Chain A
Amino acid sequence: MGTLKQAEDLERRARVRRSALVLGLVALSFYVAFIAMSVARA
């Protein structure tokens, strides 16, 4: 049981890290995309 709980916990930590990174990348891409769009337009 303990090992199962630990495995679940590790899996959840990985999921947390992964989703945080994806959201961070989404934010970064919005930042870059709007500047790139303005460069293209100018």
Chain B
Amino acid sequence: MAHEHTADHAHGEHDHHGPAHGWRRWVYATNHKDIGTMYLVFACIMFFVGGAMAMIIRAELFKPGLQLVDPQFFNSMTTMHALIMIFGAVMPAWTGLANWMIPMQVGAPDMALPRLNNFSFWILPFAFTLLLGTLFVPGGAPAGGWTLYPPLSLQGGDGFPMAIFAIHLMGASSILGSINVVVTIMNMRAPGVGLLNMPLFCWSWLITAYLLIATMPVLAGAVTMLLTDHFFGTSFFSASGGGDPVMFQHIFWFFGHPEVYILILPAFGIISEIIPTFSRKPLFGYDAMVYATAAIAFLSFIVWAHHMFTVGMPLAGQLFFTLSTMLISIPTGVKVFNWTATMWKGSLTFEPPMLFALSFLFLFTIGGFSGLMLAVVPADFQYHDTYFVVAHFHYVLVPGAIFAIMAGVYYWLPKWTGKMYDQKLGTWHFWLSTIFVNVLFFPQHFLGLAGMPRRIPDYSTQFTDWNMVSSIGAFGFGLSQLLLPYIIWKCVKSSGEKATSHVWEGSHGLEWELSSPPPYHSWTDPPSGDVIKRGVQH
């Protein structure tokens, strides 16, 4: 209560600047919490749209032969599922969490550039309307895979330029959002919040933002060149005109590999917040965690060609990209070790955020190990473009990135709403998700090792059993995700148990020094010395 009093006292006099009413609140939003909420709602909608596409894919693959969709549409589904999940669900969810939490965690009143923040968000609905619109034009949606490799991607119909424009818009939104994050963290920290004592979620986002600023323009450059090859007679990637299609792959993966870390680094930040809270211990090795995050970000720029071993490259190139890829396991191992050491002899409890964080720890590590297998050139020759790769990156992205987002939502939801959610339902959500995600993706390792290629609507009969198991897992996982919006809706609408300012017994950080829910404008006056001392943990 004493803490709540502090926060309320500090901000009570500003509370009369409440939100606008009706649609104006959202369309003209400049408040970081409103924009954060819009990002999260948008990400949730896209998660279910992309998820519905995954259901179509798994329904088609339930048994061999073609039963539900034609091959062209199946390929559109794989391509759109990836683009929507990456750019529409995971990235906006991270930006939403950044918007909500970074100003509160660094003691700032808002993001540094609130109007730019509004613009970054409102670009997204237009981008995804355009992308989804490709499903309804002649030639259909892009079907060449999310990697957009030419010459295949250049054979698309009217949807091709729409998709390229949508990708440009998504990139612009990400870059503007990232600039906002960097500028906020570098310029808006309250006195006493230093770079080496701010929460790791802020650190991981700061590094992610630099990655985004450096790599999204590279993707934009690559797709601009695809566009000029298609419509303006250039031959960047056309062998018949003297260009080089392999150059596209190099440029794409120079963006694409750091993109993987863009999706996972904020997850590392969230897990580093949750595990200490529910272990009731400070994070083990804070500095090492920061340096490990920076090391992963640096290494992510020098490993891109491990996606292209089968294209052919000199032995020196193969060795370099194998070894640099394996090097990433060192800082990642530091992180896994530190999370485990944080729990060691801790006073652990298993509320939904901790359950999702633990599941992340185990299952993300499985994804990491299969990544190491793929880094070995002769093995990659065997695994490349098989379901083993599909299993690998889904282990990294689903129980990795998406479970971390869920952990973050369950961790901060009582802070956002001022009410406790139904933890029993949250625990059900966790168990169903964790069981079904393994039923869904683990058999895909076996399918890949047995030689089943990815991105095909039909397959040889020896792959039937594991495909059926995988599809059953997919339907179970998809259905169990409906619990998440229900739990959130129930929490928002209920007049149930009120959340205290600290919510969780072991929580530390400036956001927990604010009341639950926090005032519409938080930290309009910087937190006082006492608040900083309590809230800053390292």
Chain A positions near chain B (C-beta within 8 angstroms): 12, 15-16, 19-20, 23-24, 26-28, 30-32, 34-35, 38-39, 41-42
Choose one: A12, A20, A27; the contact of B217 (CB below 8 Å).
A27
Determine if B68 is an interface residue (Cβ-Cβ < 8 Å): no
Determine if B182 is an interface residue (Cβ-Cβ < 8 Å): yes
Determine if B292 is an interface residue (Cβ-Cβ < 8 Å): no
A-side contacts of B225, CB under 8 Å: 35, 38
Choose one: B112, B179, B215, B244; the contact of A42 (CB below 8 Å).
B244
CB-based contact A15/B251 at 8 Å = no
A-side contacts of B113, CB under 8 Å: 16, 20
A14: min CB distance to chain B, Å: 10
Determine if B319 is an interface residue (Cβ-Cβ < 8 Å): no
Determine if B80 is an interface residue (Cβ-Cβ < 8 Å): no
Chain B contact-residue range equals: 20 to 34
Determine if B247 is an interface residue (Cβ-Cβ < 8 Å): yes
- Contacts A16-B112, A20-B112, A20-B113; is A34 near B217 (CB within 8 Å)? yes
Query: When chains A and B are docked, how far (Å) is the Cα of A12 from the Cα of B188?
Result: 8
Determine if B193 is an interface residue (Cβ-Cβ < 8 Å): no
- Contacts A34-B251, A42-B235; is A19 near B217 (CB within 8 Å)? no
CB-based contact A42/B182 at 8 Å = no
- Contacts A19-B183, A19-B186, A30-B214; is A38 near B112 (CB within 8 Å)? no
Query: When chains A and B are docked, how far (Å) is the Cα of A19 from the Cα of B217?
Result: 18
**Residue of B whose beta carbon sits closest to that of A38:** B236
Choose one: B178, B180, B187, B243; the contact of A15 (CB below 8 Å).
B187
Determine if B299 is an interface residue (Cβ-Cβ < 8 Å): no
CB-based contact B243/A42 at 8 Å = yes
Determine if B469 is an interface residue (Cβ-Cβ < 8 Å): no
Choose one: B180, B220, B244, B247; the contact of A31 (CB below 8 Å).
B220
Determine if B224 is an interface residue (Cβ-Cβ < 8 Å): yes
Count contacts between A and B, CB distance < 8 Å: 68
A7: min CB distance to chain B, Å: 15
**Residue of A whose beta carbon sits closest to that of B175:** A27
CB-based contact A28/B112 at 8 Å = no
A-side contacts of B215, CB under 8 Å: 30
A-side contacts of B251, CB under 8 Å: 34, 38
Cross-chain pairs A/B with CB under 8 angstroms, 7 sampled: A19-B182, A19-B186, A28-B217, A31-B221, A32-B221, A35-B224, A42-B234
**Residue of A whose beta carbon sits closest to that of B178:** A23
Known contacts A23-B182, A39-B236, A42-B234, then 17 further A-B pairs from the complex at CB < 8 Å, ordered by chain A residue: A12-B188, A16-B112, A20-B179, A20-B180, A23-B178, A23-B183, A23-B213, A26-B213, A27-B175, A27-B213, A27-B217, A31-B220, A32-B221, A34-B251, A35-B224, A35-B225, A41-B244
Determine if B166 is an interface residue (Cβ-Cβ < 8 Å): no
B-side contacts of A41, CB under 8 Å: 244, 247
B-side contacts of A30, CB under 8 Å: 213-215, 217-218, 221
Query: When chains A and B are docked, how far (Å) is the Cα of A7 from the Cα of B234?
Result: 53
Most chain A CB neighbours (cut-off 10 Å) among B213, B221, B222: B221
A-side contacts of B243, CB under 8 Å: 42
Give the 3 A-B CB pairs with smallest separation, nearest first: A31-B217, A34-B221, A30-B217
A-side contacts of B116, CB under 8 Å: 20
List residues of B (163-188) whose CB comes within 8 Å of A's CBs.
175, 178-180, 182-183, 186-188
A-side contacts of B218, CB under 8 Å: 30-31, 34
